[in-house]
Amino acid sequence: MRSAILNRFVQKVAQIIQTEGAACFSLGVADNRLHPQAVVSRRDGITRDSLGHVDLDTTLPFSKAVCDALARKGPVVLTEATRIDELTVQPPVLVMPIVWEREPLESEEEPVQRPVGVLTLWEKRGGQYDEDDYKLAETLSGQAAALLVEEQLDEFDDIQAAFSTVPVGLMLVSATDEVLVANAAAMHVIGLDPLQGRSIQGIDYGEQLTELVAEVRANGQGTATASFTSRNNETFAASAQMTQEGQVILAFTQNPFSTAAEELTGQVAHELRTPLTVIQGNLQTIEVMIDGGIQPEDQEIIEEFISTALIQSARMFRLIAETLNISRIHAGKELELEVEEFDLIEALNQILTELADYLMAHNLDVEAPDELIIEGDRGKIISIFDNFLKNAAKYSDTGTTITVRVYEVDDDHVAIEVTDQGIGIPPDALEKIGKEAGFRTDLSKKQAGGIGLGMVYTRRVTEAHGGRMEIESTVGEGSTFRSIIPKRQPEG
């Protein structure tokens, strides 16, 4: 949207100064290039897309003129036809630096001036630029500076929107490690207001920020993440990302567990809706049947409807319990087990019935003995199946096979195992699943919504029973999730 404004602005500049063409470039400090942001050209049809980046490290006349103009913070005019990237524009070509000015933060400081781009005009009607044109171009370049900086802010908003969690502190750091913009949440995290204009090194944070910025710069691309502790001992996840212009975006999200806990509310509401729809639908149908007078042949249907309604209400109870337990884990409490003796296969059948709709589009392959009596918290062990199965369905294509296996590993242990033919998990992510709350693989983020808590819960439940969780996976082929638990629980 902002680029449309910038385009109209450049059009206006060409109109006012009466040139055939005009362009506004932003300056990439890190790559020392100009990036075209808006271009208008009445005759030669040059557009923003037909102009590539302009390297400033060359001796070409346009590059030299730009460097000159930036150095002297004033206009430079070229009197010959000039190449800009692959295109040639007609003289006279005026290059005006776009300088962003900011008021000093402290009274004794100088105002900060930073070149952010250049405005270029070509082919002035009637020949030459005069003093009035220069003045106009200078004033207009001031406006362009504001627009360019706002354009960065817009990008910033997009980035902010890309984070699903709030509050997110965001800071944009220049190539020279100066804070260009920071939102209120970032000021809250850092505990300094304003942040803008300060150097990252100057923000005393036990080098947490400096190191993060240095790390992402060393990588050259991608992101770097670290945990960040604020002065009042709140933990945030801080991540740094390089922009094309060599700036660094720093984002702070709350401790992943608590953000995930916030998202959990949404997820829970969503999850509870499915069983509730079944229950409500079944009850309404039964009501209609009763109104019409129950016929003997209705008996069977009504029984089935009541039984599925009961199954789904049991599921709702379990989902609610799971949510409460996740909050308890979050609060640092241990999981409490309600141990009983039960048939693991019957538990498996229950969850398969509960998830029937969920698994309908997949081929289901069940390999299990007829009966397998164990001791454990039945509801929580059903949650293990539940989470493995839901993920298997979520992270694989419909029509593929999901295999559930229940077997005795040795005399004292049983395995609960779910295999899918889905997207798989990269080797370096295997370690994190179920250990880092909120962790999701990049592959899975593209695929389906998730919050990265189910496996943490599953692992905790498994370990609370004295068992262990294993994951095997090949990217693009599929994954196997396995929970190995003892058949007996210690007394008390």
Contacting residues toward ligand ADP, per CB under 6 A: 387, 391-392, 395, 420, 422-425, 433, 440-441, 444, 450-456, 479
H-helix or E-strand containing 216?
Answer: helix 208-219
| Nearest residue to 47 via CA among 21, 65, 81, 80 | 21
Q: To the nearest whole angstrom, how small is the minimum distance from the Cβ of residue 392 to ligand ADP?
A: 5
Q: To the nearest whole angstrom, how small is the minimum distance from the Cβ of residue 407 to ligand ADP?
A: 19
d(CA 142, CA 73): 12
Report the SS3 class of residue 3: helix
**Minimum CB distance to ligand ADP smaller for 94 or for 402:** 402
**Minimum CB distance to ligand ADP smaller for 194 or for 449:** 449
Q: To the nearest whole angstrom, how small is the minimum distance from the Cβ of residue 477 to ligand ADP?
A: 10
**Minimum CB distance to ligand ADP smaller for 44 or for 436:** 436
| Nearest residue to 389 via CA among 377, 373, 406 | 406
Residue at shortest CB range from ligand ADP: 450
Crossing angle for the helix pair 454-464 and 378-394, to the nearest 10 degrees? 150
* Encoded amino acid at 49, one letter: D
Give Cα 194 to chain centroid, integer Å: 26
| Nearest residue to 267 via CA among 320, 211, 307, 328 | 320
Q: To the nearest whole angstrom, how small is the minimum distance from the Cβ of residue 456 to ligand ADP?
A: 6
Tokens of residue 304, six digits: 């089935």
- Residue 53 CB-half CA count within 13 A: 15
Crossing angle for the helix pair 2-17 and 131-162, to the nearest 10 degrees? 170
**Minimum CB distance to ligand ADP smaller for 102 or for 394:** 394
Q: To the nearest whole angstrom, how small is the minimum distance from the Cβ of residue 384 to ligand ADP?
A: 11
Q: Look at the alpha carbons of 386, 387, 389, 394 in this order and tell me if their dihedral is positive or negative.
A: positive
CB distance 413 to 485 below 8 Å: yes
Q: To the nearest whole angstrom, how small is the minimum distance from the Cβ of residue 454 to ligand ADP?
A: 3
**Minimum CB distance to ligand ADP smaller for 174 or for 479:** 479
Cα→Cα distances 341→33, 62, 138, 374, 377, Å: 70, 82, 83, 6, 8
**Minimum CB distance to ligand ADP smaller for 117 or for 424:** 424
Q: Look at the alpha carbons of 83, 53, 1, 94 in this order and tell me if their dihedral is positive or negative.
A: negative
Helices (H), 230-369: 256-291, 298-330, 344-354, 356-359
E strands in 29-86: 33-41, 54-55, 76-78, 82-84
Q: To the nearest whole angstrom, how small is the minimum distance from the Cβ of residue 373 to ligand ADP?
A: 28
d(CA 41, CA 49): 12
Q: To the nearest whole angstrom, how small is the minimum distance from the Cβ of residue 223 to ligand ADP?
A: 17
d(CA 321, CA 254): 25
**Minimum CB distance to ligand ADP smaller for 84 or for 393:** 393
**Minimum CB distance to ligand ADP smaller for 379 or for 454:** 454
CB atoms < 10 A from the CB of 372, how many? 18
**Minimum CB distance to ligand ADP smaller for 169 or for 450:** 450
424 backbone dihedrals φ, ψ, rounded to 5°: 80, 175
d(CA 379, CA 99): 65
**Minimum CB distance to ligand ADP smaller for 186 or for 381:** 381
Q: To the nearest whole angstrom, how small is the minimum distance from the Cβ of residue 429 to ligand ADP?
A: 7
**Minimum CB distance to ligand ADP smaller for 37 or for 441:** 441
Q: To the nearest whole angstrom, how small is the minimum distance from the Cβ of residue 162 to ligand ADP?
A: 17
Q: To the nearest whole angstrom, how small is the minimum distance from the Cβ of residue 240 to ligand ADP?
A: 22
**Minimum CB distance to ligand ADP smaller for 198 or for 460:** 460
d(CA 56, CA 65): 10
Q: To the nearest whole angstrom, how small is the minimum distance from the Cβ of residue 395 to ligand ADP?
A: 3
